[in-house]
Structure 1
Amino acid sequence: MLARESLHLIKRFSIILALMLFFAAFPAEAQKHISLPRTGLESHDIAVIVNDDDPLSRQIGHYYQQARQIPEANIIHLRFSSERSVMTPKEFKQLKATIDQLTPDHVQAFAVAWTTPYRVGCMSLTSALAFGFDRKFCSKKCEPTAPSPYFNSPSLSPFDGYKLRPAMMLAGTSFEQVKALIDRGIASDHSFPKGQAYLLSTSDKARNSRAGSFAHTAKDLAGVFSIQILQTDAISDHQDVLFYFTGLTEVPMLQTLGFLPGALADHLTSAGGMLTDSLQMSSLRWLEAGATASYGTVVEPCSYPQKFPSPAVAMFHYASGTSVIEAYWKSVAWPGQGVFIGEPLAKPFAPLLREISPGRFELRFFSPHSGKLTIEESYSAAGPFKLLPKQHAIGRGENRFHFRFNEKKDSYLRFHWH
């Protein structure tokens, strides 16, 4: 017991130390003078919903608030029974009215600090929170459901742009599991992991409906990620898993895999989103194996690929520096029946600026396409900014740019890449 507690303390100290080193490497004065483009949601953009009648929910919510430094105003407290996996639409509408009333206007997304309930009537909890309960997001007899306006969107502010707040559940069966999940998400930030994407075309024809898009995914993201398309039912003994997309009722040998912090993984099947009472493999197994986010449907989806994440879309937006909640939500065209689980703010590919020697800086950033890096300069923080004549080519994948800057100089720089 003492050894395990010591390990938890060491892990937590390592994360705190990494954050301290990051901010120490980027001096406060330089932060005032150098600005980078916003690529994804930040801690102040997300509200944490806590069920005060559930001790585990309170524990998770408190730890997440502290770990991610989420403002107290963004913590939403509710009280309801957590004993059932399904909430009635009537119960939900009452809670949703309270949530809407307590949510600050600037909040763009929700982190949900519990595992049950995960469903509202015929919708997933995360979709009901985003759209409100609406039967157009349900399927009666294997029909299409209402589309999400957020699908493949370039927007960095879903509530401002679409009046919806995507939600993701900090799900797990114990505090230790959820704490490990949160710690992985934080450890992934600005880490630029060099892992593999495993896209599996399985022998399960009914659940292999995404495989037809895998070749296009590999072509569109060539040079961005290392992608392996495999004709097999499962992989084992790989320690470099960054993405794992497959289609099976049960995915074997997860315990042999090493998932990198920030990893996305899911299996297309009917009931993966039934987190605690599924007759198939629960999506929770991905998080327990080390993934940072996953997805599954809570009611029969009938194998429509639009009701599941598109690997190409998820990977593209992730590579753009968005948080995992943004990348995953943007990848599902019809998300009404699917539940998103994981650590919402993980951003492995968010840009990183650090001072590598006095007055010399390194900018690391990721891009899903080639383009140009431009720099604007002004002698006032309010502008006007003037575009510097020299532009720099950027490539697909990771980029590093070195430059000199004296923060004592009365000038300001803004970076853009496109």
Structure 2
Amino acid sequence: MSKLILLFGGLLIACLSLSANAAPLNPLLAPLSALTAKDIAIIANDADPMSLQIADYYQHRRGVPADQMIHIRFNPKTKVLSRLEFAVQKKRVDEKTPAHVQAFVLSWMQPYRVDCMSITTAFATGFDEAFCAKGCELTRKSPYFNSISSLPFRDYGLRPTMMLAGNSFEDVKALIDRGIAADFSQPKGSAYLLKTADKARSSRAVFFPKIAEGFKGVWPVFYMEKEFIKGQDDVMFYFTGLTQVPYINENRYPPGAIADHLTSAGGVLSGSKQMNILDWLKAGATASYGAVVEPCNFPPKFPHPGVLMANYLRGSSLIEAYWKSVGMPGQGVFVGEPLARPFAYPSK
């Protein structure tokens, strides 16, 4: 752990800013604390039986207090909420949310968008058109990006949000169980950063060589110029850029693993011609991230692996590490088990 903390004082941090004007991680900080069940609220859709089933299972498995269970109602077949409908639902949620809650968990697969925003950013910040873009434009930056905050609502007035989503209850149940199995497990594994032949979708690969160099002696990070990995049994992190990532089911992902692919519609959970991020979860990952509307290939709109791993390996929960890694999260959705904390230590 001491090596890990010292790592953040060197060259790696210089490449983590990602032009987001955020303060870098302090290299002298002790291992991070992680958000727990007392810090989250679960939001369920009473018109969606599977949403209620997911919320109930997650509450009991994680021990979320009853007053942090929030119920709203809307058509579960809706893929994209209008901003007006969202305003009604968000007002209800805000009225019911205890002041100490720092993050939200959504227990459904649809809707995954609010107008031009991802639903996870909409619940985190409220609807804000500045997080949207008409064409290839940059959007509002997240103040939480690469921050040292452990209480995002207190510090920034936002509650990072993640969806517990899957094609069936059994898929989501398996996801939840993986996240819980990850806690305090201190897993061994590797990170795979792939620069593919798809130049447009490898835009963030410009950071990959320095990330791999910066983590030497701390965590195995493999920078590769290839289309895929296959038959690897230690895939804790997998970041690539393709419309379809082959052979993901032929790797093994330890509980708590994170994987995503930079593409235009990976977060369209109702399905598109591109690979869906739910495929990563089905393959064994514990979280993924994908765009819900065309974001163009600006690296700040997608997870920065260096920031993500720096936070996760120091003990952050999955939702904290993932959210801190995206400079402009307005057009992308976070899906996974938010409280997984494989690199944390039990409190004494």
Give the structure-2-normalised TM-score: 0.90
Structure 1 residue 222, shift from structure 2 partner: 1.9
Letter in 2 for 1:145: T
Letter in 1 for 2:261: H
**Residue 271 of structure 1 contacts residue 282 of structure 1 at CA under 8 Å; is this kept in 2?**
yes
Matching of residues 196-215 of structure 1 within 5 Å: 196-215=190-209
Letter in 2 for 1:306: P
1:225-257 deviation per Cα after TM superposition (whole angstroms, max 9, x unaligned): 101111111111111110000000000111111
Structure 1 Cα separation of the partners of residues 231 and 31 of structure 2: 38
Corresponding residue for residue 351 of structure 1: 345
Letter in 2 for 1:116: Q
Secondary structure, counterpart of 1:317 in structure 2: helix
1:271-311 deviation per Cα after TM superposition (whole angstroms, max 9, x unaligned): 00101222200110000000000000100011001000000
Question: In the alignment, is residue 41 of structure 1 matched against residue 42 of structure 2?
Answer: no
Matching of residues 181-330 of structure 1 within 5 Å: 181-330=175-324
**Residue 31 of structure 2 contacts residue 315 of structure 2 at CA under 8 Å; is this kept in 1?**
no
1:84-120 deviation per Cα after TM superposition (whole angstroms, max 9, x unaligned): 2111101000000000000000000011100000000
Matching of residues 17-416 of structure 1 within 5 Å: 39-352=33-346
Structure 1 Cα separation of the partners of residues 331 and 86 of structure 2: 16
Secondary structure, counterpart of 1:208 in structure 2: helix
Structure 1 residues 298 and 40, CA, compared in 2 at 3 Å: closer, same or farther? same
1:154-202 deviation per Cα after TM superposition (whole angstroms, max 9, x unaligned): 0000000000001000010101000000000000000111101000010
Structure 1 residue 37, shift from structure 2 partner: 7.2
Secondary structure, counterpart of 2:130 in structure 1: helix
Letter in 2 for 1:250: Q
Letter in 2 for 1:299: V
Structure 2 Cα separation of the partners of residues 148 and 325 of structure 1: 14
1:40-81 deviation per Cα after TM superposition (whole angstroms, max 9, x unaligned): 101100000000110000000000000000000000001110
Secondary structure, counterpart of 1:259 in structure 2: coil
Corresponding residue for residue 5 of structure 1: none
Letter in 2 for 1:218: A
Letter in 2 for 1:257: N
Please identify, of 37-46 and 178-187, the stretch whose mean Cα deviation from structure 2 is larger. 37-46
Letter in 2 for 1:136: A
Corresponding residue for residue 17 of structure 2: none
Structure 2 Cα separation of the partners of residues 211 and 323 of structure 1: 25
Corresponding residue for residue 358 of structure 1: none
Letter in 2 for 1:128: A
* Structure 1 stretches of 4+ moved >4 Å: none
**Residue 32 of structure 2 contacts residue 314 of structure 2 at CA under 8 Å; is this kept in 1?**
no
Secondary structure, counterpart of 2:44 in structure 1: strand
Structure 1 residue 224, shift from structure 2 partner: 2.1
Structure 1 residue 210, shift from structure 2 partner: 1.1
Structure 2 Cα separation of the partners of residues 309 and 246 of structure 1: 11
Structure 1 residue 353, shift from structure 2 partner: 6.4
1:115-142 deviation per Cα after TM superposition (whole angstroms, max 9, x unaligned): 0000000000000001111110001120
Letter in 2 for 1:208: S
Structure 1 residue 218, shift from structure 2 partner: 1.2
Secondary structure, counterpart of 1:176 in structure 2: helix
Secondary structure, counterpart of 1:244 in structure 2: strand
Structure 1 Cα separation of the partners of residues 144 and 31 of structure 2: 21
Structure 2 Cα separation of the partners of residues 141 and 268 of structure 1: 17
Letter in 1 for 2:131: F
**Residue 169 of structure 1 contacts residue 342 of structure 1 at CA under 8 Å; is this kept in 2?**
yes
Secondary structure, counterpart of 2:289 in structure 1: strand
**Residue 167 of structure 1 contacts residue 325 of structure 1 at CA under 8 Å; is this kept in 2?**
yes
Greater radius of gyration (CA): 1
Q: Identify unmatched segments of 5+ residues in structure 1.
A: 1-35, 355-418
Letter in 2 for 1:274: V
**Residue 221 of structure 1 contacts residue 316 of structure 1 at CA under 8 Å; is this kept in 2?**
no
Structure 1 residue 38, shift from structure 2 partner: 6.0
Q: Identify unmatched segments of 5+ residues in structure 2.
A: 1-29
Structure 2 Cα separation of the partners of residues 160 and 223 of structure 1: 35
Please identify, of 222-231 and 46-55, the stretch whose mean Cα deviation from structure 2 is larger. 222-231
Please identify, of 224-233 and 97-106, the stretch whose mean Cα deviation from structure 2 is larger. 224-233
Structure 1 Cα separation of the partners of residues 32 and 98 of structure 2: 20
Q: CA RMSD in A?
A: 1.2
Letter in 1 for 2:331: Q
Name the % identity: 57
